[in-house]
Structure 1
Amino acid sequence: MALTGGAWQWSASKNSRLNMVSALDPHSGDIVNPSGQHGDENFLLVGMDSRAGANANIGAGDAEDAGGARSDTVMLVNIPASRERVVAVSFPRDLAITPIQCEAWNPETGKYGPIYDEKTGTMGPRLVYTETKLNSAFSFGGPKCLVKVIQKLSGLSINRFIAIDFVGFARMVEALGGVEVCSTTPLRDYELGTVLEHAGRQVIDGPTALNYVRARQVTTESNGDYGRIKRQQLFLSSLLRSMISTDTLFNLSRLNNVVNMFIGNSYVDNVKTKDLVELGRSLQHMAAGHVTFVTVPTGITDQNGDEPPRTSDMKALFTAIIDDDPLPLENDHNAQRLGNTPSTPPTTTKKAPQAGLTNEIQHQQVTTTSPKEVTVQVSNSTGQAGLATTATDQLKRNGFNVMAPDDYPSSLLATTVFFSPGNEQAAATVAAVFGQSKIERVTGIGQLVQVVLGQDFSAVRAPLPSGSTVSVQISRNSSSPPTKLPEDLTVTNAADTTCE
């Protein structure tokens, strides 16, 4: 719903005070299945560890303790086009990354480019390399670099960016009148001191909330950053319930207080107050059971303190998010509505997709790649002996990598090309040599392109030159099973109000 009248004037006045920064890379080649993400909102939320200015006055330490700015908290929030759920993925700050080159960023000015070194009287380099920990991406290359790394890890198309510092976070909590948390024990941290004096359910103010989500060395926890991530997820669940249940997003007076506290202490890209209000309205009727917090699965910490991502499990997680597959604990049980709206009968969990349902078709322009970059397996559904072997031999002569042909268990009228998300170019390259414009997206076959020969098959054509643009119709097989997720995935559901 568009804002009008006084609400529009209020929104415009706030937008003029937002700290805009260049962060997004919508044309990145790391984005998986862009057409499949059409209409999704993907926010990259960053809690900045900056000790400059007022941040030094709330127990964060000063610039001499830690200069510059780091990403203390990184969370990627996916809201699908259907607006039927929210998924927030937490990335550990010490997640191991491959160092990449980024444009240097000055957190004091919010500008990119060479930074003047007062000690040497010289300008630094325009391009810098990150280190091997995730939080170095923001420190060296700012929002652009962090977006680049997260898109490479996730494949999600990040189209909104928000970074807020310690002071902005604390002030936002204050503007809300505090946020309720619950702890089974008092909370004490070796570095920050006493965070919660007492156990139990309690409403905490801004400075206390900041320490609650920052504490990494809690005396009663032995899991370091993961205990902190769990607390952050529980805190944000409570904050979300509080903001929407009190109509904060829909009451200009309340929203004014929150935004005033937030504006001066944040960086944003492609975010305006109008967008946030409209997004809040679209989520007003969502059940808490459909808001899920997940942590990126990682392996054993190495000798440098880096936490390597479990690549295949991480890929499965983001494939499930892109495909809108169900996630653990996502449910309608006890799922009170987030908004302060009249109660309605609880919705029921959707049935699993059944075979024979109509496929979702998307039209897309795709660039072909070199056959030597593509691996193909041909299956024969026609009953005509030797057809798959002949087609495989022709593909091999044309430079494709091939796997042993086989027979398909059922008969298809039309030759069909199957591929998994992220492998569109390879699928389009193969489809062109079979004279097909339709390709079907499924899960679980990785980088392989599978061709099932149907009754219409006649011959294998010569491949198009690499870099050719072809028009394809991509259909998603609605009968394909959901992505298999790791059993030890760490999940927090926003409907869970138990004390931890």
Structure 2
Amino acid sequence: MGLTVVLVGVTLGGYAYYRYLDSGIDRQPFNVGASRPPETGALNVLLVGSDSRAGDNKKYGPKSQHLGERTDTIMLLHISPNRDNATMISFPRDSMVPIPECTGRNGQVVPAGLRQINSAFNDGGIECTAKTLESLTNIKINHFVKVDFTGFKGIVDALGGIEICLPKPVNDPKAKLVLSAGKHVVKGEQALGYVRTRYALGDGSDLGRIQRQQVFLTQVMKKVTDGGLLTNPGKLNAFLHAATQSVTVDEGLTLERMLEIANSVRGMTAKELKGITVPVEPYPPDKNRVQFAQPAARDFFENVRNDVEVTKSPTPGKSTAPAVKREQVRLQVLNASGEEGRAVQVADALAAQGFVVTQVGNAAPADVTTIRYAKKDAKDGPAYGDAVAARLSKEKRTPIEGKVKALVSQPYTLKSPPAQMPKGPIIQLVIGKDWPGVRVLSAIPDSLKDKVVDTSTNPCL
């Protein structure tokens, strides 16, 4: 994700440099099978952290050097079709799940069965892991990225380190982490130790470690997108080299594909990246294992397939609701994009979210989408316009005083008209050529909303 965002900042004039970077990326075939979930327009990337002890990773367990590799970290990065938000979905390594029949690393068939989820990678590699996740979620995985211990350190070092916060002193010989309580900027071994430590922090569970990993990755994303990386040639070059040399990806994740992704997500910032763990519960036969909690997990996967937002629950005592509710806003939708029928499409989407759409029509061509209110509504218009702005994708737009003249307009018929029409100002949405799309409403179960991790999450876990 960080690599593709950064690539868009490098000019196409550096074609030879592109190719040089591309030559350093290790790629592998990725054949999950013929029976796959359908495409939805979303981008889903399987991220795995390998515990391989091969090569430079030998020092993390020389006795395990020839015992294969497992996935201590399994995440699915889901980027919405509008490319306006990204969700990191973590799958606890201790989850007991039905693993489908796979082809093993030795070419032999590994029979289907109920096993720990990280065994899929050890038995059948990345393709078996992807096949397992697709069977569990019915979400199609488009690409994969694998990073090992050494690669992880290289990327963090290239970023100049990441700030963490420890609620207490930590001395964990297994994770090679010794640090005092409080904030630290960690690199190399310390960064790796922080994301690996399990028993020295929290309740000692894998779930606690996952949450810390998600917080860490939101900080990585913040540094990549907001930390001035694109404006510092030296740091940019170091990051690109470290990223390309530290990962293994599928053959379909070509340089051209990365650039395509980079351009599609260029308006996204760290604020749009959220982490959440699949809901789990204790596994009755073994207290050291977990299983997916139903129906919460099934409902969650359905929400992701339908591309709803993952939103945090409100902080107790603080209201995050907009000052003006959608049901209070009367809305006129005008199409200035030049694309036929767009006004009705947008009106339908906003009406479904509760806005009281009164008219649809066309306006003179415009490059930029705007939200407008009448000059006479200068007092209340901005607040009502903000309610509309909050439902548009990409960067939030500031309502503008002064409406434009409709070339043609007609009444819009609501499928579920309100019992009483609201009395506030009528807001005008003028759809320009840069139309960003309408954000989908959140339908994440209430039981999960307090488990969302984003840039506002307290890092002292």
- TM-score of Structure 1 vs Structure 2, range by shorter chain: 0.5 to 0.7
- The structure-2 alpha-carbon separation of the partners of 1:43 and 1:96, relative to structure 1 and needing over 3 Å to count, comes to same
Contact 1:313 1:486 in 2 (8 A): no
User: Partner letter of residue 84 of structure 2?
Assistant: E
Deviation at 1:130? Answer: 6.7
Deviation at 1:265? Answer: 4.0
Of 474, 478, 483 in structure 1, the residue corresponding to residue 443 of structure 2 is: 483
User: Partner letter of residue 493 of structure 1?
Assistant: D
Contact 1:44 1:162 in 2 (8 A): yes
Equivalent residue, structure 1, for 2:22: 15
Equivalent residue, structure 2, for 1:231: 212
Contact 2:44 2:142 in 1 (8 A): yes
Matches within 5 A, 1:97-496: 97-105=97-105, 113-114=106-107, 125=108, 127=110, 132-189=115-172, 191-193=174-176, 195-218=177-200, 220-248=201-229, 253-269=234-250, 270-276=252-258, 279-280=261-262, 282-304=264-286, 305-329=288-312, 351=326, 358=348, 483=443, 485-488=445-448, 490-496=451-457
Per residue, is there more helix in 1 or in 2?
Answer: 2
- The structure-2 alpha-carbon separation of the partners of 1:6 and 1:76, relative to structure 1 and needing over 3 Å to count, comes to same
* Secondary structure, counterpart of 1:144 in structure 2: helix
Matches within 5 A, 1:35-54: 35=39, 37-38=40-41, 40-54=42-56
Contact 1:69 1:138 in 2 (8 A): yes
- The structure-2 alpha-carbon separation of the partners of 1:239 and 1:2, relative to structure 1 and needing over 3 Å to count, comes to closer
- The structure-2 alpha-carbon separation of the partners of 1:243 and 1:2, relative to structure 1 and needing over 3 Å to count, comes to closer
User: Partner letter of residue 189 of structure 1?
Assistant: D
The structure showing larger relative contact order (alpha-carbon pairs under 8 Å, at least 6 residues apart) is 2
- The structure-2 alpha-carbon separation of the partners of 1:330 and 1:77, relative to structure 1 and needing over 3 Å to count, comes to farther
- The structure-2 alpha-carbon separation of the partners of 1:251 and 1:322, relative to structure 1 and needing over 3 Å to count, comes to farther
- The structure-2 alpha-carbon separation of the partners of 1:251 and 1:144, relative to structure 1 and needing over 3 Å to count, comes to farther
User: Partner letter of residue 324 of structure 1?
Assistant: D
Alignment partners' CA distance in 2, 1:264 and 1:287: 24
Please give the per-residue CA displacement for 1:23-71, whole angstroms capped at 9, x wherever unaligned: 2538534x2xx35x12x111111000001110023xx212446721111
Please give the per-residue CA displacement for 1:213-265, whole angstroms capped at 9, x wherever unaligned: 111221x4224101110110111011110111234367664343223334344
Deviation at 1:272? Answer: 3.3
Alignment partners' CA distance in 2, 1:255 and 1:482: 36
* Secondary structure, counterpart of 1:42 in structure 2: strand
Contact 1:291 1:330 in 2 (8 A): no
User: Partner letter of residue 169 of structure 1?
Assistant: F
- The structure-2 alpha-carbon separation of the partners of 1:2 and 1:155, relative to structure 1 and needing over 3 Å to count, comes to farther
Alignment partners' CA distance in 2, 1:251 and 1:280: 19
**Equivalent pairs, count:** 342
- The structure-2 alpha-carbon separation of the partners of 1:239 and 1:482, relative to structure 1 and needing over 3 Å to count, comes to closer
* Secondary structure, counterpart of 1:98 in structure 2: strand
- The structure-2 alpha-carbon separation of the partners of 1:494 and 1:2, relative to structure 1 and needing over 3 Å to count, comes to closer
Contact 1:298 1:307 in 2 (8 A): yes
Contact 2:54 2:66 in 1 (8 A): no
Contact 2:32 2:131 in 1 (8 A): yes
- The structure-2 alpha-carbon separation of the partners of 1:496 and 1:163, relative to structure 1 and needing over 3 Å to count, comes to same
Q: TM-score with structure 2 length normalisation?
A: 0.66
State the identity %: 27
Contact 1:173 1:206 in 2 (8 A): yes
User: Partner letter of residue 242 of structure 1?
Assistant: K
Matches within 5 A, 1:62-81: 62-64=62-64, 67-81=67-81
Deviation at 1:182? Answer: 1.1
**Which has the greater radius of gyration?**
1
User: Partner letter of residue 10 of structure 1?
Assistant: Y
- The structure-2 alpha-carbon separation of the partners of 1:255 and 1:318, relative to structure 1 and needing over 3 Å to count, comes to farther
User: Partner letter of residue 20 of structure 1?
Assistant: R
User: Partner letter of residue 85 of structure 1?
Assistant: N
- The structure-2 alpha-carbon separation of the partners of 1:186 and 1:255, relative to structure 1 and needing over 3 Å to count, comes to same
- The structure-2 alpha-carbon separation of the partners of 1:295 and 1:350, relative to structure 1 and needing over 3 Å to count, comes to farther
Equivalent residue, structure 2, for 1:450: none
Contact 1:179 1:203 in 2 (8 A): yes
* Secondary structure, counterpart of 2:456 in structure 1: coil
**Which runs of 5 or more structure 2 residues have no equivalent in the other structure?**
1-7, 315-321, 330-343, 351-437
Contact 1:289 1:330 in 2 (8 A): no
* Secondary structure, counterpart of 2:93 in structure 1: coil
Alignment partners' CA distance in 2, 1:143 and 1:349: 48
- The structure-2 alpha-carbon separation of the partners of 1:349 and 1:247, relative to structure 1 and needing over 3 Å to count, comes to farther
Alignment partners' CA distance in 2, 1:271 and 1:348: 43
Shifted more, 95-104 versus 252-261: the winner is: 252-261
Contact 1:288 1:495 in 2 (8 A): no
Alignment partners' CA distance in 1, 2:112 and 2:89: 25
Deviation at 1:97? Answer: 1.2
Of 40, 54, 57 in structure 2, the residue corresponding to residue 55 of structure 1 is: 57
The Cα RMSD (Å) is: 3.4
Deviation at 1:14? Answer: 2.1
User: Partner letter of residue 291 of structure 2?
Assistant: P
Contact 1:90 1:229 in 2 (8 A): yes
* Secondary structure, counterpart of 2:214 in structure 1: helix
Alignment partners' CA distance in 2, 1:88 and 1:352: 32
Equivalent residue, structure 1, for 2:96: 96
